[in-house]
């Protein structure tokens, strides 16, 4: 009995020490993550505008309005424009994953200069989105570098392409910037996945007469499935919450052609100071992010990407 009590006390002491070590991180999470989330959820049920003051000049307190912010969202045409553009941005996901896998396979080979090649592809990832956005805005401007080469240098076109000034083209132009900057990040993840695949599988397949495409389709992709699942989920979440490129390059224009959910939330919160409505929009976006993530997890869990 005494031995059992001693073991129990020792276990409690070890658990207490473990939580003591975790306490600083838990405090940071509580202050900067859990509290803002809980406060944001509660705020979505209030009418709270930082520009609204009483006759005495005092900031009005938040006023409980229940589900009215959510009802307002589904009557707001700009909400649907932003939601449509955010979902349209998901088109970048399969493209960026495909090119990231191909690039990872390329840099996984032992060829001269491959280390420099890997570094060059990863540099855009660690470059500030502000710098990237400003640079590409200059390249894709009506009188920018891209049109200069297409019209004046190579004479392939009679006039420049409105990359960022046409509402039907601007979003796809920004998608290209996201593709350019993001390939290196996913390439590194896929490279790690490829290096965990034993070369014996490919050697056995080659001995059986399999070609490069058959090896890629029948061995590489199925064994990369966990990495593909991770990268797809991360990429979907990143696409739905895209902001930096939009803010720097188009500010949601032209004619709301690049208005996305996160930019609309930002504009409502820090442009119109309508905190209650922006919190409700954030909650709606979080719901859709959760749905997309759940669909991805279910797809890969149920055996998506199987080959026979």
Residue 47 is classified by DSSP as E
Is the pLDDT at 216 greater than 90? The verdict is no
pTM confidence score: 0.88
**Distance, CA of 292 to CA of 236 (rounded, Å):** 7
Domain locations in the chain as residue ranges: 2-64, 74-301
- Whose CA is closest to 44, among 306, 286, 308, 236? 286
Measured distance CA(50)–CA(52) in Å, rounded: 6
Helix H or strand E segment including 30: none
pLDDT tens digit sequence for 249-271: 999 999 999 999 999 999 999 99
Contacts of 293 (CB under 8 A, 6+ apart): 233, 236, 237
Residues 6+ positions from 158 with CB-CB distance below 8 Å = 151
- Between 210 and 133, name the one with better pLDDT: 133
Q: Which of 127-131, 157-161, 200-204 has the lowest mean pLDDT?
A: 200-204
Q: Cβ of 85: how many Cβ atoms within 10 Å?
A: 23
User: Would you give the distance in Å from CA 213 to the centre of its chain?
Assistant: 30
Domain 74-301 - what CATH class? mainly alpha
Confidence of residue 302 (pLDDT cuts 50, 70, 90): low
CA gap 171, 15 in Å, rounded: 51
Closest CA to 305 of 235, 224, 231: 224
8 Å CB contact between 249 and 164: yes
Closest by alpha carbon to 89, among 225, 281, 226, 289? 289
List all residues 6 or more positions away from 144 whose beta carbon is below 8 Å from its beta carbon.
137, 138, 163
Task: Give the least confident one: 8-22, 187-201, 221-235.
Answer: 8-22
* Between residues 49 and 216, the one the model is more confident about: 49
The rounded distance, in Å, linking the Cα atoms of 168 and 88 is 12
Q: How far is CA 128 from the centre of its chain?
A: 15
Per-residue pLDDT band at 307 (split at 50, 70, 90): very low
């Amino acid at each position: 009995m005494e031995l059992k009590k001693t073991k129990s006390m020792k276990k409690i002491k070890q658990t207490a020490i473990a939580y003591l070590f975790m306490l600083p991180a838990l405090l940071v999470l509580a202050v900067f993550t859990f509290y803002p989330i809980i406060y944001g959820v509660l705020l979505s049920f209030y009418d709270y505008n930082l520009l609204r003051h009483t006759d005495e000049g005092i900031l009005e307190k938040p006023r409980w309005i229940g589900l009215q912010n959510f009802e307002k969202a589904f009557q707001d045409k700009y909400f649907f424009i932003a939601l449509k553009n955010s979902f349209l941005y998901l088109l970048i996901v399969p493209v960026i994953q495909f090119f990231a896998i191909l690039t990872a396979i390329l840099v996984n080979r032992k060829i001269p200069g491959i280390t420099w090649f890997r570094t060059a592809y990863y540099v855009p990832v660690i470059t500030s989105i502000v710098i990237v956005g400003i640079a590409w805005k200059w390249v894709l401007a009506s009188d920018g570098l891209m049109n200069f080469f297409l019209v004046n240098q190579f004479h392939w076109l009679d006039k420049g392409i409105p990359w960022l000034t046409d509402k039907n083209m601007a979003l796809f132009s920004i998608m290209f910037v996201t593709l350019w900057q993001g390939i290196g990040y996913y390439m590194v993840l896929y490279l790690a996945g490829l290096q965990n695949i034993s070369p014996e599988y490919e050697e056995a397949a080659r001995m059986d007469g399999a070609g490069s495409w058959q090896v890629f389709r029948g061995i590489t992709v199925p064994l990369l499935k966990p990495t593909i699942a991770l990268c797809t989920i991360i990429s979907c979440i990143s696409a739905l919450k895209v902001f930096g490129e939009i803010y720097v390059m188009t500010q949601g224009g032209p004619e709301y052609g690049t208005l996305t959910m996160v930019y609309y939330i930002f504009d409502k919160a820090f442009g119109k100071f309508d905190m209650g409505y922006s919190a409700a929009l954030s909650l709606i976006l979080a719901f859709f992010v959760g749905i997309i993530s759940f669909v991805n997890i279910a797809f890969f869990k149920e055996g998506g990407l199987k080959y026979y």
